[in-house]
């Protein structure tokens, strides 16, 4: 058997491609072994492969004039409509992307590409392996993402997770099969700012501007969410609770946005996502240790709302927004107490109030009175207010604002958990209001500061989640077993 190559990857051994010449008998032995190996791998399933249910698409820039990128690792540029490769990308080379006459143009150091109707994708370039029979026919093939190798202890590892793999011939000559540290990253560059992301970047034209979408595995997405949503220095069980809540939220958004160009945004309109540069060992560990864990209610994934600080009370979903959800119920929150978001005060003049309300889209030019109409079930938050005065045409107006989160946003406050005191002049004319409150956010579901407090008292992440989300089950495998 001449020119046989043995793939050697840091102590891991397996036969792989090249021009392998072998007897028909030996080739059948290899094929038989490979078939048994793949059957065993299938039976082992998620315990070894540990793959999630799919990818998420995150909108990073929705209306950009021009934007740059560069890659670290193995990437190529693909015209998405045809699936054809445009070019291989050199590591570290910076490209500029812009829209010309409604089409995408790309310009690198050496060449200019386009125009493309789009979308155009910066996609990871997967390695491929082929096992050839004695006649030169391919009898087994796999991409690196589906190619597994055994180490000396009999443990499986995906090939593309191995650093600096190399091939060794029978004469012990070696050659690297891939460069770099095994981690593919693509940087998005806007002016002086740059951020690195796992997965791929998609460039498309939307309303004459560039839209940039990051597509990646949900677990890799969570690596960039958890440290952006919660301090990595907080107790480990709080980080794990955040990872599960964020996973639930992302999966629900994937469901409701099917057919859309992206599932989530990278800011607080969805949940904050900062990509690879935000990752920390502590938060990556929290994501990995809860991999696939989600919350369900009546066999279905819940929408796991969370907020920074409850101010001492969480709320029923229908009091803050509109829909009544059985797992989002209000309760006292003694674990949430902190010095950062409690006992804040805001003072507004009537002119400042008018500006706030106009900024929220309300037709008000002169404010004459503001009234509290209703409170939430807990009694802690203001659920409804009325403002009266004159509209922009001088007509008398009375505007009712409900529910609690609309009140918070209309007045530009951290929370709707507040008391309101009106300030009058000597003639009884309203001059302004004094607001004293606690909390930060809408008050639904898990309080992040509360999770911190519970973890500090020794509660684990499952106990934290079950406290803030009423009647939920916590299950693995992304909730698929719960829905059967």
H or E element that contains 399: strand 396-402
Instruction: Give me the pLDDT at residue 463, please.
Output: 98
The pLDDT tens digits for 104-146 are 999 999 899 999 998 999 999 865 555 566 666 655 544 454 4
What's the whole-number mean pLDDT along residues 294-310?
A: 95
Instruction: Give me the pLDDT at residue 8, please.
Output: 35
Degrees (nearest 5) of the Cα angle 14, 16, 19? 145
Question: Residue 236 burial by CB count (10 A; 0-12/13-18/19+): exposed, middle or buried?
Answer: middle
What's the whole-number mean pLDDT along residues 76-86?
A: 93
Kindly state the percentage of the chain with pLDDT values over 70: 76
Degrees (nearest 5) of the Cα angle 474, 477, 480? 85
Q: Answer yes or no: is pLDDT of 100 > 70.
A: yes
Instruction: Give me the pLDDT at residue 364, please.
Output: 95
Instruction: Give me the pLDDT at residue 258, please.
Output: 86
Instruction: Give me the pLDDT at residue 415, please.
Output: 98
User: CB of 113 within 8 A of CB of 105?
Assistant: yes
Instruction: Give me the pLDDT at residue 43, please.
Output: 34
Higher pLDDT, 352 or 180: 352
Which DSSP symbol is given to 182? Answer: S
Which DSSP symbol is given to 309? Answer: B
CB under 8 Å to 336, separation ≥6 — which residues? 309, 310, 311, 312, 447, 449, 450, 453
Instruction: Give me the pLDDT at residue 62, please.
Output: 85
The pLDDT tens digits for 29-42 are 333 334 333 333 33
Q: Answer yes or no: is pLDDT of 25 > 80.
A: no
What's the whole-number mean pLDDT along residues 170-194?
A: 71
How are strands ordered across the β-sheet holding 366-375? Answer: 366-375, 382-390, 396-402
Instruction: Give me the pLDDT at residue 271, please.
Output: 92
DSSP sequence for 86-97: EEEE-TT--EEE
Q: For residues 342 and 191, what is the distance between their CA atoms, to the nearest angstrom?
A: 38
Q: For residues 90 and 72, what is the distance between their CA atoms, to the nearest angstrom?
A: 8
What's the whole-number mean pLDDT along residues 387-403?
A: 96
Instruction: Give me the pLDDT at residue 179, please.
Output: 41
Q: For residues 163 and 187, what is the distance between their CA atoms, to the nearest angstrom?
A: 21
3-state secondary structure of 311: coil
Instruction: Give me the pLDDT at residue 44, please.
Output: 34
Q: Answer yes or no: is pLDDT of 455 > 60.
A: yes
Instruction: Give me the pLDDT at residue 268, please.
Output: 86
User: CB of 195 within 8 A of CB of 277?
Assistant: yes
pLDDT, mean over the chain? 84
Q: For residues 351 and 285, what is the distance between their CA atoms, to the nearest angstrom?
A: 50
H or E element that contains 283: helix 281-289
User: CB of 71 within 8 A of CB of 238?
Assistant: no
Instruction: Give me the pLDDT at residue 303, please.
Output: 92
Q: For residues 131 and 142, what is the distance between their CA atoms, to the nearest angstrom?
A: 9
Degrees (nearest 5) of the Cα angle 250, 444, 346? 120
Kindly state the percentage of the chain with pLDDT values over 90: 69
Instruction: Give me the pLDDT at residue 61, please.
Output: 87
Q: Answer yes or no: is pLDDT of 89 > 60.
A: yes
State phi, psi for 265 to the nearest 5 degrees.
-100, 170
N-terminal to C-terminal alpha carbon distance within the chain: 51
User: CB of 360 within 8 A of CB of 409?
Assistant: yes
């Amino acid at each position: 058997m001449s020119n046989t190559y043995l793939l050697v990857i840091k102590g891991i051994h397996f036969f792989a491609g090249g021009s392998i010449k072998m007897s028909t008998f030996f080739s059948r032995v290899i094929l038989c072994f490979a078939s048994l190996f793949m059957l065993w791998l299938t039976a082992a399933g998620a315990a070894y492969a540990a793959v999630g249910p799919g990818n998420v698409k995150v909108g990073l820039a929705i209306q950009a004039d021009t934007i740059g990128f560069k890659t670290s690792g193995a990437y190529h540029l693909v015209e998405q409509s045809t699936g054809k490769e445009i070019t291989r990308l050199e590591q570290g080379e910076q490209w500029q992307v812009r829209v010309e006459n409604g089409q995408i143009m790309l310009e690198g150091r050496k060449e200019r590409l386009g125009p493309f109707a789009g979308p155009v994708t910066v996609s990871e370039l997967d390695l491929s392996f082929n096992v050839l029979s004695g006649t030169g026919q391919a009898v087994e093939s796999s991409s690196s993402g589906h190619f597994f190798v055994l180490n000396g202890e009999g443990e499986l590892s995906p090939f593309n997770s191995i650093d600096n793999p190399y091939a060794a011939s029978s004469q012990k000559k070696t050659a690297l099969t891939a460069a770099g540290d095994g981690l593919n990253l693509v940087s998005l560059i806007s002016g002086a700012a740059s951020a690195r992301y796992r997965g791929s970047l998609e460039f498309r034209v939307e309303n004459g501007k560039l839209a940039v979408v990051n597509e990646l595995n949900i677990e890799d997405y969570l690596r960039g969410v958890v440290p952006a949503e919660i301090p990595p220095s907080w107790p480990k069980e709080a980080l794990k609770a955040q990872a599960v809540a964020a996973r639930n939220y992302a999966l629900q958004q994937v469901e409701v946005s099917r057919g859309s160009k992206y599932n989530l945004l990278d800011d607080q309109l969805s949940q904050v996502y900062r990509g690879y540069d935000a990752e920390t060992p502590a938060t990556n560990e929290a994501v990995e240790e809860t991999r696939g864990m989600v919350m369900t209610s009546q066999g279905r994934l819940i929408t796991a709302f969370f907020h920074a600080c409850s101010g001492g009370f969480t709320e029923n979903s229908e009091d803050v927004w509109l829909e009544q959800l059985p797992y989002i119920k209000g309760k006292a929150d003694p674990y949430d107490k902190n010095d950062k978001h409690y006992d804040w005060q805001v003072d507004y003049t009537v002119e400042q109030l008018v500006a706030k309300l106009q900024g929220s889209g309300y037709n008000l030019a002169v404010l004459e009175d503001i009234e509290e109409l209703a409170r939430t079930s807990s009694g802690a938050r203001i659920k409804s207010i009325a403002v009266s005065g004159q509209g922009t045409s001088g007509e008398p107006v009375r505007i009712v604002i409900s529910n609690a989160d609309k009140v918070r946003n209309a007045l530009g406050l951290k929370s709707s958990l507040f008391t309101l005191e009106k300030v009058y002049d000597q003639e009884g004319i309203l001059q302004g209001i004094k607001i004293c409150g606690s909390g930060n956010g809408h008050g639904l579901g898990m309080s992040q500061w509360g999770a911190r407090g519970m973890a500090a008292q020794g509660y684990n992440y499952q106990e934290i989640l079950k406290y803030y989300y009423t009647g939920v089950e916590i299950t693995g495998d992304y909730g698929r077993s719960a829905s059967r």
